[in-house]
Amino acid sequence: MELTCPCKAVTLRISSEPVAQFWCHCADCQTVHGAAYVAESIYPAGDVEIVSGDTTSFALKTTPRISCATCGTRLVVELPGIEMRAINGYLLTDTFKPSLHIHCSEAVAPIRDNLPHYATMPAAFGGDDRRVDW
């Protein structure tokens, strides 16, 4: 699958299905995106490629993020400790289907839906499986 940023200056290619899709409520995502929570879709790092276009990279704290150099859209989050890359879920308009919320202990407000809400992360991603009860 190929995706572009809104201005179409950068093209990404994803060659696998996502490992997970979720809403992230961490303070880092809130600050970087200026939002209460962010849509993320995670893939094996080797399955996400920047095919064309100029990008910029920065890390607010420690997590490297890649953005379009033209429109500034956040595109990719590097997750080197687990050999994964997260794609901005808002780019996946037809295929983003979240199955959980993570880092809800940092949420600015409760979200009430039928998905599980993890205080940090599920055990499958290195968390403790603890959930928040809104």
Q: What is the CATH number of the domain that holds 78?
A: 2.170.150.70
What would the two tokens of residue 71 be? Answer: 């429109």
* Parent domain of 118: 2-125
Nearest to 46 by CA among 10, 20, 74, 82: 82
* pLDDT by 10s per residue, the chain, length 134: 999 999 999 999 999 999 999 999 999 999 988 999 999 999 999 999 999 999 999 998 878 999 999 999 999 999 878 899 999 999 998 999 999 999 999 999 999 999 999 999 999 888 999 999 88
User: Domain count of the chain?
Assistant: 1
Residue 133, domain member (yes or no): no
What was the pLDDT predicted at 63?
84
Residue 51, domain member (yes or no): yes
What was the pLDDT predicted at 101?
97
Residue 119, domain member (yes or no): yes
72 contact partners, CB below 8 Å, separation of at least 6: none
What was the pLDDT predicted at 134?
84
Is the separation of the CB atoms in 69 and 54 below 8 Å? yes
Residue 19, domain member (yes or no): yes
Residue 89, domain member (yes or no): yes
Strands in the chain per DSSP E:
2-4, 11-14, 20-24, 38-44, 48-52, 55-59, 64-68, 74-79, 84-88, 100-102
Residue 115, domain member (yes or no): yes
Residue 20, domain member (yes or no): yes
Q: How many CB atoms lie within 10 A of CB 74?
A: 19
Specify the 3-state DSSP secondary structure of 54. Answer: coil
Residue 134, domain member (yes or no): no
